Amino acid sequence: MMSFTAREDDTGNLYDQRYDQEEYYWGLKPSSNCSRVLEILPPSGGSRLLDVGCGEGRDAVFFACKGYSVTAFDSSPVGVEKALRLAERANVSLEVFVADIIEYRLDSCFDVVFSTGVLQYIPPDLRPEILGNYRAFTNPDGVNALSVFVSKPFISRAPDAEAKAFEWRSGELLSYYHDWRIEYTSEEIFDCMSSGVPHRHAISRVIARKVAG
């Protein structure tokens, strides 16, 4: 999925390699939080949605098909190109560009800020600033719908895990939204085949609403 610092061995280059195939590395089925966002804040009057770390575009295209005005970015140029091709196949429009999650900051407001499987690339010392930026540029009554992998001592490191990823703790993501209305939160363990090798992840999901006033 996206957003990494530029290094010779960085995850951006790694995902270019993973995405450089006809098939879609993450598949085409949208993330589970997508349907929840649709229920909690259905699109109305050109609702603006930002997909942070859109990867190959499966979630961004899902939201565009449902009627959101979608902006998306990823650090992988290969992923961005595949996202554009997927949007063309679905006959929807995306504003999608290459950017680094560590460096990129929002400067316009969105009704939904969405991200899944990406925020582990934000170092812990930058999380308050970056999540603060997402919060500040969320419209009143808008939502942040975010998912992060959390560390568990009984779950082995994924075979395709990147050396540049940083751990999140249980409850850490939720703590950034203590003053927002929590529409949905969960922590669960799921099976994954992203590397072709069976493994498990623990993931924390939060959908929080910025209550007007």
Per-residue pLDDT of the chain (213 residues; tens, 9 = 90+): 332 233 333 555 788 888 888 787 777 799 999 999 999 999 998 899 999 999 999 999 999 999 999 999 999 999 999 999 999 999 999 999 999 999 999 999 999 999 998 999 999 999 999 999 999 999 999 999 999 988 888 887 766 666 678 989 999 999 999 999 999 999 988 777 666 777 777 889 999 999 987
Residue 115 lies in a domain: yes
Both tokens of 106, joined, read 């929002």
Q: Among 112, 201, 198, which residue's Cα sits nearest to residue 154? A: 201
Domains of the chain: total: 1
Residue 156 lies in a domain: yes
The CATH number covering residue 93 comes to 3.40.50.150
- 73, amino acid identity: F
Entry pTM: 0.88
Note whether residue 72 is domain-resident.
yes
In a domain, 150, yes or no: yes
Residue 4 lies in a domain: no
With residues binned 3-state (H G I as helix, E B as strand, rest as coil), the percentages for the chain, rounded to 5, are 30, 30, 45
Q: What residues does 115 pair with on adjacent strands?
A: 146
6 and 104 in contact (C-beta within 8 Å)? no
5 inside domain? no
Q: Which of 99, 92, 90, 91 is nearest to 72 (CA)?
A: 99
Q: Which domain range does residue 76 map to?
A: 11-209
